[in-house]
């Protein structure tokens, strides 16, 4: 269930409610309210509460109403919020703001990893010229082997900051540790939580609590079901940050011909289940740059709100994920084609879940 807090509730009334909720839910942590649709709300698993307790909660002065929600994820559910959530990106740190989640698809592009100043700034200018609206670049890299390039760390964040100042593009970069959320949020317009960390619950909570409302792009785990993914989003939202963007990046399959299996059917399905914006990552999904343009077009046709693409000025010399990286010229063609496709399917996307 979702508890909607009365906007006129005073701190004493709220205090009573929070104490009651902690007691009945057995929570050892303070319960946080999240602002959605201009209202403060708290999600609770109502199935563990008996009718008497539910009624006591609803009679609290701080409570305006209770909305029963059947699904395990609540704040993320379409049942709770019928209208699409659009997330404003880039307004906090001086970039040119963009909206993710409305009819215009957003293209996020840049290198897998920030390698050095020249590589990042060259790529940043090139992706901007090609029509991308947000710059990606990993400073902290989750690599399968500890002997692979791990990223430049905080130095990479400084270079991303410089790239934002030069181009005006908002920045997205990955955060891997709960302790680093505040640091990364000082530089990043969007925090990325990678596939390998989709169920790192302390990290999800920290991204919800310590990232001053900075949008968080949550990538689907390598073998995560859609429900597990939405519940991971719910962790971030329940900790206080409603600005979550989902990113489908392919799931593990049996066939080594592609790096992962792009689950495009999740896009229209998510439109039905959730109000959160949905981005697709055809780079990690396919692992092969020759497949990226086709799957980019398909993703927008399926109703994605945008794409995240790995771009490198010289893909064959990239320190990370060169095989799936495209050139700025290829990016420009994708921007052009997906803009045309979005004009055809844009209106339909709004209605697909209502059918």
Contacting residues toward ligand PEP, per CB under 6 A: 112, 138, 142, 194-196, 219, 249, 284
Euclidean distance between CA atoms 67 and 79, whole angstroms: 9
- Cβ distance to Mn ion smaller for residue 195 or 211: 195
Report the nearest approach of Mn ion to the CB of residue 320 (Å).
6
Report the nearest approach of ligand PEP to the CB of residue 225 (Å).
16
DSSP string for 9-47: --HHHHHHHHHHHHHHHT-SSPPPPEEETTEEEEE--GG
- Cβ distance to ligand PEP smaller for residue 101 or 138: 138
- Residue 219: name its binding partner from ligand PEP, Mn ion, none (Cβ under 5 to 8 Å by kind): ligand PEP
Q: Which contacts of 147-150 are long-range, i.e. CB under 8 A and separated by 24 or more positions? A: 148/320, 149/113, 149/115, 149/319, 149/320
Burial 290-326 (b: 16+ CB within 10 A, else e): ebbbebbbbbbbbbbbbbbbbbbbebeebbbbbebbb
Residue with tokens 């009624």: 55
Report the nearest approach of Mn ion to the CB of residue 264 (Å).
20
Site string for Mn ion, 101-130 (x = CB under 5 A): -----------x------------------
- Cβ distance to Mn ion smaller for residue 112 or 193: 112
Number of residues binding to Mn ion, judged by CB under 5 A = 2
Report the nearest approach of ligand PEP to the CB of residue 149 (Å).
12
Residue 321 found at the interface with Mn ion (CB under 5 A): yes
What residues are paired with 191 via a beta bridge? 173, 216
CA distances from 303 to 266, 268, 278, 296 (A): 10, 6, 8, 11
- Residue 249: name its binding partner from ligand PEP, Mn ion, none (Cβ under 5 to 8 Å by kind): ligand PEP
The helix or strand, by DSSP H or E, that contains position 351, with its residue range, turns out to be helix 328-352
Report the nearest approach of ligand PEP to the CB of residue 50 (Å).
42
In this chain, which residue has its C-beta nearest to ligand PEP? Answer: 194
130: three-class secondary structure by DSSP = helix
- Cβ distance to ligand PEP smaller for residue 36 or 112: 112
Residues that bind Mn ion in the complex, under the rule CB under 5 A: 112, 321
């Amino acid at each position: 269930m979702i508890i909607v807090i009365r906007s006129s509730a005073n701190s004493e009334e709220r205090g009573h409610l929070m104490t009651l909720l902690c007691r009945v839910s057995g929570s050892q942590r303070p319960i946080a309210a999240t602002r959605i649709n201009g209202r403060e709300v708290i999600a609770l698993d109502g199935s563990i509460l008996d009718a008497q307790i539910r009624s006591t909660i609803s009679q609290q002065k701080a409570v305006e109403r209770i909305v029963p929600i059947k699904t395990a994820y609540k704040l993320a559910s379409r049942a709770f919020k019928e209208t699409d959530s659009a997330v404003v990106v880039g307004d906090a740190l001086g970039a040119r703001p963009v909206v993710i989640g409305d009819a215009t698809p957003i293209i996020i592009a840049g290198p897998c990893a920030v390698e050095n100043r020249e590589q990042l700034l060259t790529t940043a200018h090139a992706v901007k010229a090609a029509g991308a609206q947000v710059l990606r670049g990993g400073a902290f890299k989750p690599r399968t082997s500890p002997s692979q390039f791990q990223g430049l760390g905080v130095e990479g964040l400084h270079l991303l900051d410089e790239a934002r100042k030069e181009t005006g593009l908002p920045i997205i970069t990955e955060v891997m540790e709960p302790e680093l959320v505040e640091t990364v949020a000082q530089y990043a317009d969007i925090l990325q939580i990678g596939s390998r960390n989709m169920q790192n619950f302390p990290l999800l909570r920290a991204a919800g609590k310590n990232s001053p409302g900075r949008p968080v792009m949550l990538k689907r785990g390598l073998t995560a079901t859609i429900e597990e993914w939405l519940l991971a989003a719910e962790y971030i939202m329940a900790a206080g940050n409603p600005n979550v963007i989902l990113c489908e990046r392919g799931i593990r399959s049996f066939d080594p011909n592609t790096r992962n299996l792009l689950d495009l059917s999740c896009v229209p399905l998510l439109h039905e289940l959730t109000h959160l914006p949905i981005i697709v990552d055809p780079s990690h999904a396919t692992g092969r740059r020759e497949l990226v343009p086709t799957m980019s077009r398909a993703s927008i046709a399926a109703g994605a709100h945008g794409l995240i693409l790995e771009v490198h000025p010289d893909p064959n010399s990239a320190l990370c994920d060169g095989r799936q990286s495209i050139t700025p010229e290829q990016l420009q063609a994708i921007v052009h084609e997906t803009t045309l496709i979005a004009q055809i399917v844009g209106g339909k996307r709004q209605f697909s879940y209502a059918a």
